Structure 1
């Protein structure tokens, strides 16, 4: 949560009064004077003190195993949305999915009501790596791995950033691989493989930055992030 908003909310201050706390150097994060009023904080990760008061946040961070057929959206007239899979006890008015997965794509999805964190994770300059488990309807080869490494070019001349392709199994009719990318163009993974003359038949995201898909989560299931997982996201709290 933005530090200035937290102070106004918890201490019931006016905007002017909130600014005075900073001017008097009465705001401390983890014992250090903090002058950045827009800093993103969470009391699970930070000790937040304003004068003699300790402040606390109440954000939610959900790790979901998104199933195929569900859309990454807040509302949809035709399909079930990922937020509809969340039980009422875990719902927040501002809960939203960080990034998107296509309707037929499965796997790791982070949902949170901490908008600043989601924004930081999606910034291109942060180069947050995403890894997908991919099945395609043809044989992949070393030439494909090198093409991904060099940067796939789409029809029209658009070039993707270099990507890491690890081929796990390959036959004439099917290949199974892992693909790691640092960007998120529209239908990017599918289009990358189409450029190599194979079609994605199944796609599952298994990693996003420091977070990994929980193998114990059933499709459509979710759980709160553990403290160690949340700690791994601390560098993205800016």
Structure 2
């Protein structure tokens, strides 16, 4: 088997055209051509460097080298590549980065902290889809004196207009004046989720910062700074997303099942519920002490919204996304 070839549906997913399952449907529908010939058979292998791939008449660009960056997004910057209102964007902060990359998910304009950027569509999808369970860690300041019961509610799940939130890990950090600092880990990515969770328990979020995305942390980054991920960080990130590096022979060692095993997924949810009841936020004892004046230290299958990987509005520094347009009438994917 030629080590330079890859299955067609996998190549389409890697370019961010669609998920692998959606790409298979596009192939069956006759929407994909290889070197001018319509292909409907699944599993056809192609050479991304030599073969000309078209989807709905639009030619797929040659694959760029995968790039991975960590950015400390400041408050007031929007997570998009272009903004019609002329506001500063995260892409505008990437001085010295000339290649096209996209934000993985998004952070609200008023939220600061760690944002990953890449041109690896497959990894971005896995990092943001809730079924893969990649955790995102935030530090939040909530208005008021948040009780142990309210923190427990955050951990077990609160009712939002788009459904009950999944179990989270919540830890009380400190109380400061008329505010409470907490650390919260979630694996969902609904729009303004943590802010809405704060509203749901009657303690609006005043400040919010993402401090980690899976195994990747802010480290020594300062607001507005960007750095490439190290090889060790990339391996850890792919592992967290259920992926593995390719072998020296070019074979893909990614886990064959896109969905985590039912046993593992069920055990994780059950464990999260169990932890929520027993005090994932480092024990009710510490919370009671904090309440008494101490410092207290010590769209998915269900239809819920989530950020599906690479931000859809981004075209990058070289407009056109993954496509090269051939001569002839325009068509949309």
TM-score, normalising length: structure 1: 0.73
Matching residue of 1:20: none
> Which stretches of structure 1, 4 residues or more, deviate above 6 A after TM superposition?
none
Is the aligned partner of 1:73 residue 2:77? Answer: no
d(CA) in 2 for partners of 1:62, 1:159: 32
1:173-219 alpha-carbon deviations (Å, 9 max, x no partner): 111110111101111100101111111111000111121112x1110
d(CA) in 1 for partners of 2:163, 2:211: 26
Gaps of 5+ in 1: 8-13, 17-34, 39-55
SS of residue matched to 2:114: strand
Gaps of 5+ in 2: 12-32, 36-42, 47-62, 244-253, 255-333
Matching residue of 1:184: 189
1:23-42 correspondence runs (5 A)? none
Is the aligned partner of 1:120 residue 2:116? Answer: no
Q: Taking structure 1 as reference, are residues 148 and 168 closer, same or farther at Cα in structure 2, changes over 3 Å only?
A: same
Q: Structure 2 residue aligned with 1:82, among 85, 90, 96? A: 90
1:38-70 alpha-carbon deviations (Å, 9 max, x no partner): 9xxxxxxxxxxxxxxxxx972211100110000
Q: Taking structure 1 as reference, are residues 36 and 200 closer, same or farther at Cα in structure 2, changes over 3 Å only?
A: farther
> How far does residue 3 in structure 1 lie from its aligned partner after superposition?
4.0
Q: Structure 2 residue aligned with 1:135, among 141, 146, 163? A: 141
d(CA) in 2 for partners of 1:36, 1:99: 31
Native 8 Å contact 1:140 1:167 kept in 2: no
Native 8 Å contact 2:114 2:211 kept in 1: yes
> How far does residue 233 in structure 1 lie from its aligned partner after superposition?
2.1
Paired residues in the alignment total 192
Structure with the larger RCO, 1 or 2 (CA within 8 Å, 6+ apart):
2
